[in-house]
Amino acid sequence: MSDHSPTSELDVTVPSVPAKTCKIRIGTNILTSLWAEIEAQFEHLAKFVVTDENLVSAGHLHDLLSSRDVPTFVISPPGETSKNIDTVTAIVEQMEKVYLGRDTVVVALGGGTVGDIAGFAAAIFKRGVPVVQIPTTTVAQADSAVGGKTGVDSSVSKNAFGAFWQPTAVYVDVATLKTLDDRQFRAGLVESVKHAVIADAGYFEFLDENLDAVLSRDCAVLEKLAYYNCQIKARVVEADPTEKNRRRMLNYGHTIGHAVESASGFELLHGEAVAIGMIAAGLIEIQLGLGDRARLSGIRNILERLHVPVSLPKGLDKERLIEIIKHDKKAINRWPKFVLIDKIANVYCQEGQWAVEVGQEVVEKVLDEL
């Protein structure tokens, strides 16, 4: 006889969420004709746009909507300071005030902050409505618009509120990058270098050969870059959407990168800190016999041409970095695992794990050299 009486326990089995396909379209100057396409694709849904002030002043919101009257939330001030739950509340309440319901699609036009905020608002509005991402920074076009991670920061930590909410469509217009600030543009390209290093030797060569064209914002080359990036990110996400294991490879350079970003008091942009983190990963690989100086020089050379830092800024305290690494959100027993490669386009996988153990003494040695 079971301990439970027949009326005290029930099993509830709900079907798992069916797979969903997200269309990614890449082009140049597609923004002006996009709205008709969105109207056609989401014919029966109301539309709500989320963007930020810089996208408005750069003319991109106008290019998207022309003179159409579509309810729009403009995030102000732009950037990370607005990536918080208050902005999400304001968006949700604005949507309610204009009588939007579950039959709504949210359209996010902007960089990673807009995409993360709007995606999260879409995920929780009336328990979830579809979101379309129109990324406009090198970070968003290579990384944040694809993969379904959405969320906002708390006063304690980054992305503390969050949900996996896959976009229904992603439209990449590389011409929008023309108005992006140079430092942002270059720093965001570090994620592209990361993709090449972990996943595609042909892409690494492409980057090396076409970096000048990328930096001069040649749209044909930027389209190819976007295609490589979206493809690499999409394949990894398809295999492991909720980051149980394989998706962790996208954190290459990020463990030390995050620590450097934080220790710099966010003076360094994320991509700049990740560049330093990638060099650190390369030095760890050398220490562990997984890599050599020649391979690291190839990577360093591309990063230097991007004019991103490749060594620790003066005054960054090593002890403090180690402390921050111990607080890494992925740490177990106060020490995180590291993503490493054993050759270009091959992430080192040990016993089926895509992030591996590296002793603190190895990391300390590497920080001395960095």
Ligand X SMILES: NC(=O)c1ccc[n+]([C@@H]2O[C@H](COP(=O)([O-])OP(=O)(O)OC[C@H]3O[C@@H](n4cnc5c(N)ncnc54)[C@H](O)[C@@H]3O)[C@@H](O)[C@H]2O)c1
Applying CB under 6 A, which residues contact ligand X? Answer: 52, 54-55, 58, 60, 78-80, 83, 110-114, 116, 136-137, 139-140, 143-144, 147, 149, 176-177, 179-180, 184, 188
**To which residue do tokens 């989401």 refer?**
42
The residue among 94 and 179 lying less far from ligand X, judged by its C-beta, is: 179
Distance in Å, CB of 153 to ligand X, minimum: 8
Cβ atoms of residues 311 and 317 within 8 Å:
no
Residues labelled as active-site residues: 127, 149, 191, 233, 243, 247, 251, 254, 258, 270
* Length in residues, the chain: 370
The residue among 194 and 295 lying less far from ligand X, judged by its C-beta, is: 194
Distance in Å, CB of 139 to ligand X, minimum: 4
Distance in Å, CB of 34 to ligand X, minimum: 14
The residue among 54 and 104 lying less far from ligand X, judged by its C-beta, is: 54
Q: Of all residues in this chain, which one has the CB nearest to ligand X in the complex? A: 112
Rounded Cα distance between 84 and 283, Å, is: 36
* C-alpha distances out from residue 310 to 278, 296, 306, 366, Å: 8, 11, 10, 13
Task: Name the H helices within the chain.
Answer: 31-41, 53-57, 60-65, 85-97, 112-124, 138-139, 182-199, 201-215, 219-239, 254-263, 270-287, 293-305, 318-326, 360-369
Helix pair 318-326, 254-263: axis angle to 10 deg? 120
Cβ atoms of residues 281 and 338 within 8 Å:
yes
The residue among 149 and 224 lying less far from ligand X, judged by its C-beta, is: 149
Determine how many CB atoms are found less than 10 A away from the CB of residue 150. 28
The residue among 143 and 328 lying less far from ligand X, judged by its C-beta, is: 143
Distance in Å, CB of 296 to ligand X, minimum: 24
Residue 6's DSSP bridge partners are none
Strand (E) or helix (H) holding 230? helix 219-239
Distance in Å, CB of 123 to ligand X, minimum: 12
